[in-house]
Amino acid sequence: MTQFHGQVAWIAGATAGIGRAMAREFARRGADVAVSGRRQERLAEVVAEVEGLGRRALAVPCDVRRDDEVAAAVQTVVAHFGRLDVAVANAGFGVIGRVEDLTADDWHRQFETNFFGAMSVVRHSLPALRRTGGRLALVSSVSGILASPRVGAYSASKFALRAVGLTLAMELRGSGVSCTLLNPGFVSTEIGQVDNQGQFEASRKDKRPAALMWTADDAARVMVKAIAARKREYTFTAHGKLGAFLGMHFPGLMCWLQRDARSTTAKLD
């Protein structure tokens, strides 16, 4: 549990759910942690949690949709800690609706955060990671492997992220920097309570199947382990692995099985 001792991890998208849990898990494994997101009061809470685990922490407010803010965030982290060893692109949400009903703004909004935001994290963190032989991690989704009705925009953004993650794993070979693509299945997070504009609504009911969900802490544990091992790609949960396998090898079967699926039960985050 000290495999990241003396190292610094930065998580973009760490105010809740998987990102917040990953901040705690990196701290348990010895890392100092920088956390970014748009909700500053939440960042302060995560900093307190990391410090409570005996590690140094830094809140760096950042909207990944703003390339200049991502660049400034990386500079702040390196200036404060003197290095960067792990960068995690975790910020994301889901736009829901039939493809024919989504507007151009819906598509732009989805890709601005889930894809282009992640690319900003990649671009600005890589120089610092090259200096430390560090680790890059992209949080994609089983929905980046398995298409489902009414989550076409979300799936498209994650399919694109998966393509770049696998490409980076090849392009970075020999550089000392690894890229780990993470594909979670159902995880208990706030994503089901975020609307198509990216706004969190506490009263919004998460209609995903609760019985199939992992906790964020359980997800963070296996994700950080995969990053530590420099895995190229890691998919979980059990249902997520099954869905991904069927999506890749039996797409016709999955199309038939999901012919009547609704967005709230088909969505894998």
Model pLDDT for residues 178-232, shown as the tens digit of each residue: 999 999 998 987 665 666 776 766 666 766 777 888 999 999 999 999 999 999 9
The pTM of the full predicted model, rounded to 2 decimals, is 0.89
234 is catalytic: no
Token digits of residue 42:
């939440």
Main-chain phi, psi angles of 3, to 5 degrees: -65, -20
Neighbours of 2 (CB within 10 A): 9
**Catalytic: which of 81, 111, 154, 214?**
154
pLDDT of residue 265: 41
pLDDT of residue 197: 74
What residues pair up with 37 in beta bridges, in sequence order? none
- For the chain, residues with pLDDT lower than 70 are 1, 190-195, 198, 200-204, 206-207, 260-269
Second-level CATH architecture of 8-266: 3-Layer(aba) Sandwich (3.40)
pLDDT of residue 267: 40
Listed in sequence order, the residues at least 6 apart from 73 whose beta carbon sits closer than 8 Å to its beta carbon are 10, 12, 34, 36, 60, 62, 124
pLDDT of residue 77: 98
pLDDT of residue 201: 64
pLDDT of residue 80: 98
Q: Which of 34, 82, 77, 31 is nearest to 58 (CA)?
A: 34
